[in-house]
Amino acid sequence: MKIIICEDDERQRLILARSLEGWSNSRQIELELLSFESGEELEFKREEHLDADLYILDIEMKNLNGMDVAKWIREWNKESGIMFITGYEHFVFEGYLVKAIAYLLKPYRQEQLEQCLDRLYDEIKEQRKFFVCKTTDGGEKIFFDDIVWIQSDDHYVLIQTSSKQIRGRCSLEEVKKELDDRNFLQPHRSFVIANGKIKRIGRNDIEMTDGSLIPIARGKWEQINEQYMDYVRKMRR
């Protein structure tokens, strides 16, 4: 589960991060946690982080406040959860405009936070699609939204997820049959990549959110760029 915190108070940011880590550890949930100290910092890196499951935003921040951040998140991502944590009640009705899942007033109780997280995680589990990849140890469940890239390796595949790399006992073509074409691209015969994990598309390669550079086959740049822009436009609807 990927959670992004945007909070300009360092102490509050650290407290919230510890609370989230404690929640994930107690429930044995794999957590990817990123923290930003301003709305501007998050907006600057938004293309890398449009795939979060949950955005936890402080409302009262300098310059770009949490409500403004939530509005541009919704322009690009209609599905992820948004939670506001603030000391002010009068913003609560604006939260409905961006379909916030929760609005916690400071000081909030740990159990209030955990109830919201439990509810969202249960919804995510019901919606997440996965396939079972054959491995040397038997099989492993791989969620589509965890995949960064997949590489053909003779009669095997290397699957890079948000947290680890898996060597599967199957071909790239077999894996492709399991995937949703709308969320993945094939810029090269040896690679399939997740649209939601693209950081930058260059003329010769694609930089992914894990830092990997995936080659673009000769003559495929226009096709790949067009397919990716179609994906971005659909995400904004």
- Per-residue pLDDT at 205 exceeds 60: yes
Q: Which domains does the chain have, with CATH numbers?
A: 2-127 (3.40.50.2300), 130-236 (2.40.50.1020)
Task: Choose the weakest-confidence range: 22-26, 86-90, 142-146, 159-163.
Answer: 86-90
Rounded mean pLDDT of 1-7?
Answer: 91
* Amino acid, res. 76: W
Strand pairing of 165-168 and 184-188?
Answer: unpaired
pLDDT, position 146: 86
Its pTM surpasses 0.75: no
* Amino acid, res. 210: D
**Dist CA 113 CA 107 (whole Å):** 11
pLDDT, position 204: 95
Rounded mean pLDDT of 205-230?
Answer: 94
* Amino acid, res. 226: E
Nearest to 45 by CA among 31, 54, 35: 35
pLDDT, position 149: 97
Nearest to 169 by CA among 139, 130, 129: 139
Structure tokens at 31: 């957590």
Rounded mean pLDDT of 145-171?
Answer: 91
Rounded mean pLDDT of 10-24?
Answer: 92
Rounded mean pLDDT of 81-107?
Answer: 78
- Per-residue pLDDT at 213 exceeds 80: yes
- Directed axis angle between helix 66-76 and helix 221-236, to 10°? 120
- Directed axis angle between helix 110-127 and helix 10-26, to 10°? 60
Rounded mean pLDDT of 118-124?
Answer: 84
- Per-residue pLDDT at 108 exceeds 80: yes
Give 198: exposed, middle or buried? Use CB within 10 Å, 0-12, 13-18, 19+.
Answer: buried
**Dist CA 150 CA 187 (whole Å):** 11
pLDDT, position 172: 93
- Per-residue pLDDT at 116 exceeds 80: yes
pLDDT, position 154: 81
Mean pLDDT (the chain) is 87
E strands present in the chain: 2-6, 32-36, 54-58, 81-86, 102-105, 130-135, 138-143, 147-153, 156-161, 165-168, 184-188, 191-194, 198-201, 205-208, 213-215
Rounded mean pLDDT of 77-103?
Answer: 78
Rounded mean pLDDT of 26-51?
Answer: 82
Rounded mean pLDDT of 110-123?
Answer: 88
- Per-residue pLDDT at 92 exceeds 70: no
Nearest to 235 by CA among 40, 2, 73: 73
pLDDT, position 55: 94
